[in-house]
Amino acid sequence: MIKFNVASINRCTETEGPHKRLCIWFQGCDIHCNECCNPDYQPFVIRHIMSLDEIISVIKKSIDDFGIEGVTYTGGEPSCQQNLTILTNEIKKLGIGVISFTGRKYEEVSDVLAGVDLVIDGKYNAKRKETKRRLLGSENQRILCLTDRYKNDISWFDTDKNGKSVEVNFSDKIVFNGDKI
């Protein structure tokens, strides 16, 4: 059975990429960026082990309930998840897009991120904090359109047009996500 170590899921967000999206934060990162925005997601500890079918079921329900257009992978480090390509392929069968963050250069993990539409890559550099692009942590990070799906949405990342944003969700706990402001 294909399984993933999931730190958390936000079933509908508009701060983790263009359009309504489901966001998956994976548990575990071996990069350990200084001043990481999610230090609790770095340790390789078991959080929520979810099967491929369970994740796809949550995504399908989010399509029905919220009309999500895509899924964003973040973490932790998504490229540390075995079988990520299989998850991406199953998501793409649903007709929605996939965006992935990675602290590595895309060229180092292109096989793991095969099928992803847009990648935000590069190790977070606290000395080069990003002030002009939304959602990116540091100036060295790149936005790579790997397919045409989001090529007309690149301006979404421009803070001059959209501003920085934070989203607050209330359920059994309070969850904040988006830009650090």
Q: Where are the alpha helices (DSSP H) in 6-125?
A: 52-66, 84-93, 106-109
- Residue among 128, 145, 173 nearest 33 (CA): 128
Rg of the chain in Å (alpha carbons): 15
Q: pTM of this prediction?
A: 0.90
| pLDDT tens per residue across span 103-121 | 999 999 999 999 999 999 9
Q: What is the pLDDT of residue 168?
A: 59
| pLDDT tens per residue across span 35-78 | 998 999 999 999 999 999 999 999 999 999 999 999 999 999 99
